Amino acid sequence: MCKIIDAKPKVGYFISQAKANEDLADKLMNIKLADVKSLPVVVNEGTSVYDSIVTLFLENVGTLFVVEDKYLKGIVSRKDLLKAAMGGGDLSTIPIGVIMTRVPKAVYCTENESIIDAAEKIIEHEVDCIPIIEFDLSSKMIITGRISKTNVTKVMLDLVK
């Protein structure tokens, strides 16, 4: 009745799969982003599109975070950089601030959210990576990390193994 133990004729008793799924879901809900975050790869708002593309490849990431002082100003994805490159123009003279997605439209997480919360945002907004932020006393966003599809996949693999 509790769905903890199942039984099959000629097989015996075993732990119910429903209980195992609940346990996995509980474990995932208890994993906070502060424990699994990666270091953010940041560029300044005045950095050229060309230098941003170079940074993207050197750091082997799909998303760059644009900061001014220590505050998050925007996000740039591979797709944004590809559109800028296809648009023509001298990429070494165009600042990244022109093509970035600005903070009001950006999706973000905080360190105390769960890995499930981040996965839901990644899927809902169809992005590869989300910044992890904290707010200072003036309600400005300070970037403290990032969570990506790779981070989420690693956590799930670790739990399964």
Residue 1 banded pLDDT, cuts 50, 70, 90:
very low
Residue 2 has pLDDT above 60, yes or no: no
Residue with more model confidence, 30 or 161: 30
Residue with more model confidence, 105 or 4: 105
Domain residue limits, the chain: 33-160
- Cβ atoms of residues 104 and 139 within 8 Å: no
Residue 29 banded pLDDT, cuts 50, 70, 90:
confident
Residue 121 has pLDDT above 90, yes or no: yes
Contacts of 29 (CB under 8 A, 6+ apart): 114, 116
Tokens of 79: 């797709």
Look over the chain and give the mean of its residue pLDDT values, rounded to a whole number: 87
E strand or H helix that includes residue 7? strand 5-8
User: What pLDDT, in 10s, does the model give residues 57-93?
Assistant: 999 999 999 999 889 999 999 999 999 989 878 899 9
User: What pLDDT, in 10s, does the model give residues 83-119?
Assistant: 998 987 889 999 999 999 998 889 999 999 999 999 9
| Segment 7-20 mean pLDDT | 64
Residue 20 has pLDDT above 60, yes or no: no
d(CA 161, CA 155): 10
Residue 141 has pLDDT above 90, yes or no: yes
CATH fit for domain 33-160, picks 1.10.760.10, 1.10.1520.10, 3.40.50.300, 3.10.580.10: 3.10.580.10
